[in-house]
Amino acid sequence: MKKVLITIFILVVLISITTLVILYGKGYRFSFSNGRADLSGTGLLVATSNPDGAQVFINDHLTTATDNTISLQPGHYKIRIFKEGYFHWEKNLVIEKGVVAKAEALLFPTAPKLESITNIGVNNPVLDPSRTKIAYTVNSQTVRKNGVYVLDMTVRPILTLQNSSSQIVDDTVSLFSESILSWSPDGQFIIASTSAQSLTADYLLSANSFNQSPDDVTETLTSVTSSWEKLKADKDKSLMGGLSEKFRKTASDNFNIISWSADETKILYQASSSATLPIIRIPRLIGVNSTPEQRNLEKDGIYVYDIKEDRNYKIHAPANKDQISLSWFPDSKHLIYLHDKKIEIMEYDGANITKIYAGPFVDSYVFPWSDGSKIVILTNLGNSDTFSNLYTISLK
């Protein structure tokens, strides 16, 4: 009998401790007032930053540092995260009882480093569908270096960034240095369209090795491009098939999809008509992004739809059907916005717009490095007497 009582006592203690741990994890705290214990419900704020070690201001009061969890009474709070040498991050968050809210700040340097990748001149860079490689042509005074190059943004060069590019074809067979380039959907091949003395030709190039004898596909180009279009259509169909049936029809009727985020959890799109997005997740999720959403679509407006949280955000970025200067950042949490010869990065809900570069760059040739550590631009740094080259803007 004594052993049974001891066993029961141990079980009760373990259950009590487990319950207290769960309540603590949900934000409940014990307090003593008027001589009695009280269990009050609070919410939790998890504040992180990249880089870490930033200061966290809550309602303009320095409260803690990042990589920390804070208990707060339910309510609305202004959260500001600051680190010397970086643009600050600021957002209004809603703290709910027993719910974890996240303040995840990606901080950008106020004095980013500019570093050259090329030095012999670059023309018409093109980003591949996987967003990890850039193809470009070189037409310089050094003939043997002319041709097509591929910059691989996944490699880690031993010495300088200039080791990241490889020449995949020269001008021996055709004038590839003046060709127009287009990528295959899988990023493994490039079609180079050349023109010389009124004679046009199309060549299929491997993007991963030097092409000693480029494959002339001029007469079979239609077949090649048709197969590529089918691959792209199949991928788009597969992505749409991952949506719920209810939302799939809404998206098909009202979305002109610009692009999917890299992790395929968000859609950047332009509304093709005015409509109201139905609520898909019932009941609605708790602990989600507290930025107010917009489910009433305005024709031609730009939006981001978060598939996992079933929330829709309006992006206040003027655009037209011919040119939409918005693209995904590799982390799937930010957008790159080009306008008025400036490069800005914003969160996917339109918050925290940060101007990271306002110097000269050519057209819309702006590409994020595959790990988000840099931005690649094409520029001559405002010097009209020099060729344009690829440079990186450091974001870390």
Check which CATH number belongs to the domain holding 99 and give it: 2.60.40.1120
Q: How are strands ordered across the β-sheet holding 75-82?
A: 61-65, 55-58, 75-82, 89-95
- For residues 101 and 137, membership in a common domain is answered with no
Mean pLDDT, rounded, for 302-327? 84
Question: Are 132 and 97 part of one and the same domain?
Answer: no
Residues 249 and 347 placed together within one structural domain of the fold: yes
Within a domain: residue 115? no
HSE-CB for 80 with a 13 A CA cutoff: 11
How far does Cα 380 stand from its chain's mean position?
26
- Angle (nearest 5°) at CA 265 between 262 and 267: 80
Taking residue 135's Cβ as centre, other Cβ atoms within 10 Å add up to 23
- Residue 20 confidence (pLDDT) above 80: no
Residue 276 lies in a domain: yes
Residue that is last in its domain, among 53, 83, 107:
107
Q: Is the predicted pLDDT of residue 342 greater than 90, yes or no?
A: yes
Residue 366 is assigned to a structural domain of this protein: no
Residue 112 domain flag: no
Q: Is residue 374 in some structural domain?
A: no
In this model, does residue 18 exceed pLDDT 70? no
Distance CA 110, CA 354 (A): 10
CATH value at residue 347 = 2.20.25
> Per the structure, how many domains does the chain have?
4
Same domain, 97 and 188: no
Tens of pLDDT, residue by residue over 36-52, are: 544 457 899 999 999 99
pLDDT of residue 37: 45
Same domain, 137 and 200: yes
Closest CA to 364 of 384, 379, 352, 348: 379
Residue 167 belongs to a domain: yes
Do 73 and 23 share a domain, yes or no? no
Same domain, 275 and 352: yes
> b/e map of 320-329 (b: 16 or more CB within 10 Å)?
eeeebbbbbb
Write out pLDDT tens, residues 45-74.
Answer: 999 999 999 999 999 999 999 999 999 999
Predicted pLDDT at 242: 87
pLDDT at 13: 63
Residue 343 within a domain: yes
Please write the tens of the pLDDT for every residue from 86-130.
999 999 999 999 899 999 999 999 999 999 999 999 999 999 999
Q: Which residues span the domain enclosing 31?
A: 1-40
Q: Do 354 and 249 fall into the same domain?
A: yes
Residue 338 domain flag: yes
Above pLDDT 70, what percent of the chain?
A: 89
Q: Are 141 and 163 found together in one domain? A: yes
Looking at the structure, do residues 252 and 310 belong to the same domain, yes or no?
yes
For residue 367, give the nearest of 16, 52, 133 by alpha carbon: 133
Whether residues 33 and 48 share a domain: the answer is no
Q: Answer left, alpha or beta for residue 149, where phi above 0 means left and psi between -120 and 50 means alpha.
A: beta
User: What's the predicted TM-score (pTM) here?
Assistant: 0.87
Q: What is the pLDDT of residues 169-196, one digit of tens each?
A: 999 999 999 999 999 999 999 999 998 7
Same domain, 248 and 351: yes
Q: Helix or strand or coil: residue 205?
A: strand
